[in-house]
């Protein structure tokens, strides 16, 4: 009997064993194929990064080599600088560097990209590169050479020693040492050198992009945690709340804020409020659920307007709205001498079941008052002159003066034209002094 059973089972077990071996071999081959593909992608991205950094250095040299009056060549070279830095940033993102310190180099490339883009898009016949910008380009030319040379050294070692990026990724992920840290050490060296570069004058348009809002921008002395709690309770006097907590945020005194949190006693959500160190309200959020819509958009707008008036904000006009999950978010801006002041905007969230205000975002409004930049609020162009710069195929429904932040974070006075083109709504902002199109944004029709 056992012999008969063995005779039957042996070939079956043998087939299973052969199948397991074949399956294991296929799995091993597939794993090796995936690893090889990932390694090839890493190698390609790394060699492309080295190539583009060398090209970036050469392109910066060409920008400096042409005559100062060659605006066309300057524009072409700066567009190429912007393109090359964008490609280099993309290649860095493809490498396993998330746990490796390379942020200073990435930030440096980001600033070069913004510097080149903002210089290239302006009208160079009226605003050619100035002496400060040429000095900045010379500094970038020298710095890019050092980065390129260091990357070429790493690239040579990778080729000579046949190093693998998969070993680097594994070492970073497991925090284990590998036999050759050439790649990791090389990238650390590059990043450390970039971090030691002297401060570069990027110009106001680029500097404004990276400027952080600081409490030093705001007027008034800091207040205590108890004072913040009192302000929060005054704001929340319409609610029954419990478990009130005050927390100071930020490690630096420049960026410290207060957060006040509380629970509604009816169990319908958590409430949080953020204040500046001086006690100005930055935001308010009520997390309660809104399961249905019982009021109209007009009712929501009236509720938001009453809320702003109740809490001491000036007369404001709604300019945008969006509905999501039975909550309407409305953007309000003050109107001063007929000008819509977009930099002073704030957003109000209204629950569409009963009109309750469930959120406020007022950081733009608070920090705008700390900005002492003077802006000309008298247009040089008439409305009709500005309208001539709008596509004649666009059906314009309204126009008004508006102060906005343009793409280089400068405040500019514009004519805002609202209308539609091919059944899509748009707002177009035409510079009230130059007639240039500063911004265009789609809106719901």
Tell me the per-residue pLDDT of 102-130, one tens digit each, with 9 for 90 and over: 778 888 888 888 888 888 877 777 788 88
**pLDDT value, residue 192:** 85
Torsion, Cα of 209, 214, 216, 219 (10° steps) = 100
β-pair type (281-286, 316-324): unpaired
Residue 12 is predicted with a pLDDT of 64
Would the pLDDT of 223 be above 60? yes
- Alpha-carbon distances of 13 from 16, 18, 273, rounded to whole Å: 5, 9, 69
Q: What is the mean pLDDT of the chain?
A: 82
pLDDT tens profile 351-364: 999 999 999 999 88
Q: Each residue of 40-90: pLDDT tens digit?
A: 888 888 888 889 999 999 999 888 888 777 778 888 888 899 899 989 888
Instruction: Tell me the C-alpha distance between 182 and 205, whole Å.
Output: 38
Give the model's pLDDT for residue 45.
84
Q: What angle do CA 171, 176, 182 make, to 5 degrees?
A: 55
Q: Please tell me which residue, 328 or 22, carries the higher pLDDT value.
A: 328
DSSP string, 146-187: HHHHHHHHHHHHHHHHT--HHHHHHHHHHT---S--HHHHHH
- Which residue did the predictor score with more confidence, 365 or 214? 365
Q: What is the pLDDT of residue 179?
A: 47
Q: Which residue has the higher pLDDT, 211 or 340?
A: 340
- pTM summary value: 0.67
Confidence of residue 220 (pLDDT cuts 50, 70, 90): confident
Could you tell me what percent of the chain has a pLDDT over 90? Answer: 29
**Which class for 420: exposed (0-12), middle (13-18), buried (19 or more C-beta within 10 A)?**
middle
């Amino acid at each position: 009997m056992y012999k008969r059973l063995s005779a039957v089972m042996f070939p079956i077990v043998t087939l299973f064993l052969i199948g397991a071996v074949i399956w294991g071999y296929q799995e091993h081959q597939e794993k090796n194929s995936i690893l090889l593909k990932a390694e090839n992608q890493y190698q390609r991205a790394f060699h492309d990064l080295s190539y583009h950094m060398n090209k970036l250095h050469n392109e910066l040299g060409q920008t400096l080599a042409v005559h100062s009056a060659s605006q066309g060549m300057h524009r072409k070279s700066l567009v190429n600088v912007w393109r090359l830095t964008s490609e280099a940033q993309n290649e860095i993102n493809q490498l396993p560097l998330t746990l490796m310190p390379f942020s200073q180099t990435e930030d440096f490339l980001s600033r070069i990209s913004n510097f080149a883009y903002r210089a290239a898009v302006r009208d160079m016949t009226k605003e050619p590169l100035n002496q400060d910008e040429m000095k900045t380009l010379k500094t970038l030319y020298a710095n890019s050479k050092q980065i390129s040379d260091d990357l070429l050294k790493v690239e040579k070692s990778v080729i000579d020693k046949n190093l693998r990026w998969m070993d680097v990724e594994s070492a970073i992920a497991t925090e284990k040492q590998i036999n050759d840290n050439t790649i990791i050490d090389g990238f650390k060296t590059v990043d450390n050198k970039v971090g030691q570069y002297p401060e570069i004058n990027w110009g106001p348009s680029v500097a404004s992009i990276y400027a952080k809002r600081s409490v030093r921008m705001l007027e008034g002395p800091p207040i205590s945690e108890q004072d913040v709690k009192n302000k929060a309770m005054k704001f929340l006097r319409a609610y029954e709340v419990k478990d009130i907590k005050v927390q100071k945020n930020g490690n630096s005194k420049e960026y410290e804020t207060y957060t006040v949190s509380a629970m509604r006693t009816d169990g319908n959500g958590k409430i949080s409020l953020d204040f500046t160190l001086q006690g100005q309200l930055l935001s308010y959020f009520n997390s309660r659920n809104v399961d249905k819509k019982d009021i109209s958009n007009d009712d929501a707008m009236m509720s938001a307007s009453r809320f702003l008036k109740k809490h001491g904000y000036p007369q404001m006009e709604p300019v945008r709205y969006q509905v999501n999950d039975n909550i309407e978010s409305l953007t309000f801006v003050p109107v001063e001498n007929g000008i819509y002041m977009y930099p002073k905007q704030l957003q109000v969230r209204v629950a569409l079941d009963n009109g309750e205000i469930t959120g406020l975002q007022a950081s733009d409004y608070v920090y705008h008052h700390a900005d002492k930049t003077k802006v000309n609020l008298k247009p040089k162009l008439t409305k009709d002159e500005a309208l001539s710069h709008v596509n004649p195929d666009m059906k314009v429904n309204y126009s008004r003066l508006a102060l906005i932040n343009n793409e280089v974070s400068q405040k500019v006075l514009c004519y805002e034209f609202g209308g539609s083109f091919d059944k899509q709504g748009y707002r177009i902002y035409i510079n009230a002094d130059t007639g240039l199109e500063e911004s265009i944004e789609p809106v719901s029709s």
